[in-house]
């Protein structure tokens, strides 16, 4: 369908106008605080009751339900597709405790959702004419807390982008596949009806014929004849082993789950979110993102050298002209200084996947930004696009999901070392004035990338997120093509010199 550029520009302008300049510091929401206090008291009683039954698993579940405070990093929550009673709950007394625990969670979820809806709707009596009073990112964070407590909260599920199929909540993309009779297994991705059983029995289907798994793995394929591995949100063309491709697929989906919460305000128009919170509108299915997974570095370089002469210096790349993320399946060489050294699929580091997938999510999630995304940061501010991707390198798994950020994570320790021991720091005014070409040609690039990790953590987490919404809005203006060299300072309500000083204090702690 042919798009109207003028209409797209008006949509972008309305999205940007709906944001407020960041407040000096985020204030605690009294409704949320009261709901948390009420739940804490109920959980303490339930823990005592669970201990009395001798059920250690139920006791640990209730005691461990509390999330740590988000003091210096962000939380991203993994949500179940439905609420399920633990297998360990089987006696009448245990069932009563579990049901009371679920009720206490639902009571808190209802209170949190009320706070989120009130903030999203704005100061007026309806959400249709007022700009949001709570920032989008905070609203989405509250939505995920609602759904952790009450996975079946229908309005919150729909507002956050899920649809129901049977007794489960799934993405619109998964719903579309289920409606066609397709089947899913994390080891094989989405498969047409009737193939999953044969895959589990050791067969593989490719281009019209069946073969054994051993025959399939023995093939040395060119990229254009690679195997397809399809997830809810990615279509991967792979010449790497199936097991490693499944690992990459899991990392990509993990990145999206965390990104939706960490940069939640970027992914949806504030007025659309306000409408969904009132039960109006719903998320539609997004066309899959494209990724290529080469069997080794040699194939990766050979495929991309004709497009990017410096490809040999990269461990992965999001190639914007074709909207494709590229990776390869062998050890990626020297680790990023200070980066989390979690094992990834095959030999690919997790932070590489998180970094490049983040670029892809920013560039392709919002339809009205896709036309301008390729030129994001060309004139100025390119550093922030890279800083956001560096920030997502810090994803760390937790029992309840992930943490993102922190002064001990990713490149931040290296940023502190560069600043405090080497005296290296590029002022924000200088960084903000750099476009992509000037930034990438800078001879200090390796040290600058370390600094970007520190700057990202500063803008996302300093002062408990004081500048978080301003930074997300700045990214939106970069992808919309409307930013200038001073945009970030205006959004923060600070001069760049003042922000430089605040950064120094943050990174020195």
Assess if residue 373 is contained within a domain.
yes
Residue 11: enclosing H or E segment and its boundaries?
helix 5-17
Q: Are residues 104 and 247 in the same domain?
A: no
Residues in CB range of 380: below 8 A, 6 or more apart: 432, 433, 434, 435, 483, 484, 485
Could you tell me if 217 and 288 lie in one domain? Answer: yes
**293 and 442 belong to one structural domain:** yes
Q: Is residue 5 part of a domain?
A: no
**Which pair of structure tokens corresponds to residue 445?**
């690039």
Strand blocks (E) in 239-285: none
Report the C-alpha gap between 154 and 150 in whole angstroms.
9
Domain boundary among 92, 122, 151: 151
Split into its structural domains, the chain has a count of 2
CB within 8 Å of 156: residues ≥ 6 apart: 109, 113, 116, 143, 146, 147, 150
End of a domain among 151, 183, 200? 151
Same domain? For 203 and 127 the reply is: no
pLDDT at 5 over 50: no
Does a structural domain hold residue 455? yes
Together in a domain, 197 and 137: no
Would 71 be classed as within a structural domain? no
Residues 182 and 46 in one domain: no
Q: Residue 324 pLDDT more than 50?
A: yes
Give the span between the Cα atoms of 265 and 409, in whole angstroms: 23
Mean of the pLDDT values across residues 457-479?
94
User: Would you place residue 408 in the very low, low, confident or very high pLDDT band (cuts 50, 70, 90)?
Assistant: very high
Report the distance separating Cα 57 and Cα 62, nearest Å: 9
Q: Range of 46's domain?
A: 26-66+83-151
Tokens 């004419």 correspond to what residue?
129
Residues 176 and 144 in one domain: no
pLDDT tens, position by position, 21-53: 343 445 568 889 999 999 999 999 999 999 999
As a whole number, the mean pLDDT across the chain is: 88
Q: What is the pLDDT of residue 369?
A: 85
Clarify whether residues 145 and 198 are in a common domain.
no
- What does the longest C-alpha to C-alpha distance in the chain come to? 69
Q: CB-based contacts of 332: which residues, under 8 Å, 6+ apart?
A: 297, 315, 316, 347, 348, 349, 352
Please state, as a whole number, how many other Cβ atoms lie within 10 Å of the Cβ of residue 472: 24
Beta strands in 78-200 (DSSP E): 163-165, 168-170, 183-185, 189-191
pTM score of the predicted model: 0.89
257 and 391 share one domain: yes
**Which segments within 269-385 are labelled E, that is strand?**
289-294, 317-319, 324-328
Integer angstrom CA distances of residue 484 from 248, 376, 379, 432, 433: 36, 11, 8, 8, 8
What phi, psi does 279 have (nearest 5°)? 90, 10
What pLDDT is stored for residue 122 in this prediction? 57
Domain membership flag for residue 74 = no
Torsion of CA 288, 289, 293, 297, to 10 degrees: 170
Would 163 be classed as within a structural domain? no
Residues 210 and 247 in one domain: yes
226 in a structural domain? yes
Q: Indicate whether 365 and 500 sit together in one domain.
A: yes
Residue 230: in which H helix or E strand, if any? strand 227-230
């Amino acid at each position: 369908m042919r798009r109207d550029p003028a209409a797209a520009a008006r949509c972008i302008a309305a999205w940007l106008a709906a944001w407020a300049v960041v407040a000096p510091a985020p204030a605690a929401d009294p409704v949320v605080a009261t709901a948390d206090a009420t739940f804490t008291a109920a959980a303490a009683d339930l823990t005592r009751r669970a201990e009395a039954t001798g059920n250690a698993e139920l006791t640990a579940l209730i005691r461990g339900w509390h999330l740590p405070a988000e003091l210096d990093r962000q939380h991203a929550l993994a949500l179940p597709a439905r609420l399920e009673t633990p297998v360990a709950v089987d006696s009448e007394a245990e069932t009563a405790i579990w049901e009371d625990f679920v009720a206490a969670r639902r009571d808190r979820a209802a209170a949190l959702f009320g706070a989120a809806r009130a903030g999203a709707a704005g100061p007026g009596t309806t959400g249709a004419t007022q700009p949001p009073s709570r920032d989008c990112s905070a609203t989405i964070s509250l939505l995920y807390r609602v759904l952790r407590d009450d996975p079946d909260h229908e309005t919150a599920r729909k507002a956050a982008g899920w649809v129901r199929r049977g007794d489960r909540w799934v993405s619109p993309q998964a719903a579309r596949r289920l409606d066609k009779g397709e089947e899913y297994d994390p080891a094989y991705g989405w498969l047409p009806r009737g193939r999953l059983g044969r895959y589990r029995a050791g067969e593989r289907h490719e281009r019209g014929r069946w073969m054994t798994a051993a025959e399939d793995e023995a093939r040395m394929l060119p990229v254009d004849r690679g195997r397809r591995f399809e997830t809810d949100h990615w279509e991967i063309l792979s010449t790497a082993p199936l097991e490693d491709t499944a690992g990459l697929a899991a990392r990509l989906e993990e990145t999206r789950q965390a990104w939706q919460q960490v940069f939640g305000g970027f992914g949806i128009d504030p007025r659309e979110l306000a409408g969904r919170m009132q039960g109006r509108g719903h998320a539609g299915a997004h066309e899959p993102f494209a990724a290529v997974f080469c069997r080794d570095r040699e194939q990766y370089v050979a495929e991309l050298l004709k497009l990017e002469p410096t490809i040999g210096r990269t461990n992965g790349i999001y190639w914007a002209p074709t909207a494709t993320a590229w990776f390869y399946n062998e050890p990626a060489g020297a680790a990023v200084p200070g980066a989390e050294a979690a094992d990834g699929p095959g030999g690919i580091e997790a932070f590489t996947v998180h970094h490049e997938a983040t670029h892809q999510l920013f560039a392709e999630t919002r339809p009205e930004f896709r036309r301008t995304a390729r030129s994001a940061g060309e004139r100025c501010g390119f550093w922030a696009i890279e800083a956001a991707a560096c920030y997502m390198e810090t994803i760390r798994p937790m029992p309840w999901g992930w943490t993102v950020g922190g002064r001990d994570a990713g490149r931040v320790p290296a940023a502190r070392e560069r600043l405090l021991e080497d005296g290296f720091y590029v002022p924000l005014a200088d960084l903000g004035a750099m476009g992509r070409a000037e930034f990438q040609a800078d001879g200090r690039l390796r040290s600058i990338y370390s600094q970007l990790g520190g700057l990202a953590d500063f803008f996302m987490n300093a002062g408990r997120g004081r500048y978080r919404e301003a930074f997300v809005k700045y990214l939106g203006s970069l992808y919309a093509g409307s930013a200038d060299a001073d945009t970030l300072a205006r959004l923060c309500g600070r001069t760049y010199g003042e922000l430089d000083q605040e950064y120094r204090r943050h990174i020195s702690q």
